[in-house]
Amino acid sequence: MNIKKALASALVLALMLSAGSALAVVGQEPLAEGEVTVAGIMPVEGDEGIMPVAPLVPPEGNFFIGGQPVNIHSLNKLAPVLEYGTVAFLEDGRIMLMGVDENGAQYAKLILNLNDSTLILNAVSGDPMALENVREGDVLYAYVSPAMALSMPAQASAELLFVGIPADFVVPTYAEIDNVIVNDDGSVILITNQGVHITVNDETALSPYLSRQFILPEMLLPGQKVLAWYGLIATSYPAQATADKLIAFHTDYTGTINLDSDGVITLNGEALRFDRLAMPYISSGTYLVPFRKVVEALGFTVTWNSEDNSVLVSKDEAVLYSFVSGAHTVQLGDAERYITHALDTFLGVTYMSIDDIITLHNLKLVA
């Protein structure tokens, strides 16, 4: 190894050690000059090939990349909770639900807070209903935020209400698609955030919400929310059912991102390829990615201002957010938002936490 090459390798190794990172794939062959790789762990070149550099203290994590624990908070999003009861009153955008205790006595169970985005649907047809259709004494099912106010009774924001429920009727499941498995026969299995795998086949009455557009099972995407009506459900883990009817909503996400256990990042179905000198790495349990590479792959323009070391992210001349290199916050419109990990810069490349990329660009993390 010549002196220049040795110095370059030593510099990269020192930077990686200072970040407390595990940055290599054991057993990987050295890369040729200029070669790129989809592997998500930065290689460090040495006389014997790729040298693994272990973190000083392995942190706890909810995801593993190359066998190393990584915290990805986007994995921890909680699904809405199904609640039900009898309507006691409705006033000022709030509904009081009454429950029945083990002795058969009624009690104030939950206050539902409604907003402009709360869906009010007929439980049988899935058609939208007016709030005026909700009356005192009606049985109401609601999908609500799991974050409830600690009051007496508890309060929660309502995402969806089911009304017009016949006696002994099983209300549909309201779920978000985490992943889609396409079978050879054209049917699909929807892995959802409600702990049930829903099969959609050619016998399922499938339609988009409030649209006459034609839709096929394979057109369903991660991030879409669905209403699924089904009868029998397999008592397995996870639960499994075949939908008799399914209504698909338009997704609120701008795209999808997948991160596998090798650290490979896939955006909207395409795996990203990184230059060997600007690759993702792990620091203190956080997965950091080359900011410009990922954001430009999402279709955004990244502008660097050398005068104040600031970065501007825009699309079609509209600014999405901006930040100063090394900062703990980004400017998002009129608001300043903290990010999960301070922006790092190595060898002129800015790195951002994969969590912050997901949040700032409203991406669906595919399970």
The residues, ordered by sequence, that sit 6+ positions from 73 with a Cβ below 8 Å of its Cβ are: 340, 355
Fold of 173-248: OB fold (Dihydrolipoamide Acetyltransferase, E2P) (2.40.50)
Residues in the chain: 367
Tokens of residue 229, six digits? 């009506």
Cα–Cα dist 48/88, whole Å: 74
Sort strands 139-144 and 119-122 into parallel, antiparallel or unpaired: unpaired
Intra-chain end-to-end CA distance of the chain, in Å: 43
Q: What is the pLDDT of residue 348?
A: 83
Residue 7, CA distances (Å) to 22, 198, 315, 336 in order: 20, 56, 40, 40
Say if pTM beats, i.e. exceeds, 0.95.
no
What is the spatial distance between Cα 278 and Cα 347, in angstroms, rounded to a whole number? 8
Q: Determine the pLDDT at residue 150.
A: 82
May I ask the CATH class of domain 3-67+261-365? alpha beta
pLDDT at 60: 60
**Contacts of the segment 112-115: beta carbons below 8 A, 24+ positions apart:** 112/83, 112/142, 112/144, 112/155, 112/156, 112/157, 112/158, 112/161, 113/155, 113/156, 113/157, 113/158, 114/158, 114/161, 115/157
3-state secondary structure of 131: helix
Q: Is 237 exposed, middle or buried (0-12, 13-18, 19+ CB in 10 A)?
A: exposed
pLDDT of residue 157: 96
pLDDT at residue 233, rounded to an integer: 83
> What is the residue-level pLDDT of the chain in tens, covering all 367 positions?
444 444 444 443 343 434 433 333 322 333 333 333 433 444 333 333 333 333 333 346 788 998 899 988 888 788 999 999 999 999 889 999 999 999 999 999 999 999 999 999 999 999 999 999 899 999 999 999 998 888 889 999 999 999 999 988 999 999 999 999 999 998 999 999 999 999 999 999 999 999 888 899 999 999 999 999 998 887 788 899 999 999 999 999 999 999 999 999 999 999 999 988 899 999 888 999 999 999 999 999 999 888 888 899 999 989 999 999 888 999 998 899 998 888 888 888 899 999 999 999 999 999 6
> Around Cβ 348, how many Cβ atoms within 10 Å?
7
Which class does domain 81-163 fall in?
Answer: mainly beta
Please work out, in degrees rounded to the nearest 5, the angle formed at the alpha carbon of residue 292 by the alpha carbons of 288 and 297. 100
Domain 3-67+261-365 matches domain 81-163 at the CATH topology level: no
The residues, any chain, with a CB within 8 Å of residue 220's CB and separated by 6 or more, are 177, 180, 188, 190, 200, 226, 248
Task: Write the CA distances from 24 to 5, 29, 273, 281, 344, integer angstroms.
Answer: 18, 11, 16, 9, 19
DSSP 169: -
Task: Return the pLDDT at 154.
Answer: 93
Q: Residues 6 or more apart from 218 whose CB is under 8 A from it?
A: 180, 182, 186, 188
Q: What is the pLDDT of residue 212?
A: 84
Three-point CA angle 183, 184, 187, nearest 5°: 45
Give the start-to-end residue ranges of the domains of the chain. 3-67+261-365, 81-163, 173-248
Burial of 320 (0-12, 13-18, 19+ CB in 10 A): middle
**Phi then psi for 66, rounded to 5 degrees?**
60, 30
Burial of 78 (0-12, 13-18, 19+ CB in 10 A): exposed
Cβ(153)–Cβ(111) under 8 Å? yes
- Tokens 């050619």 sit on residue: 202
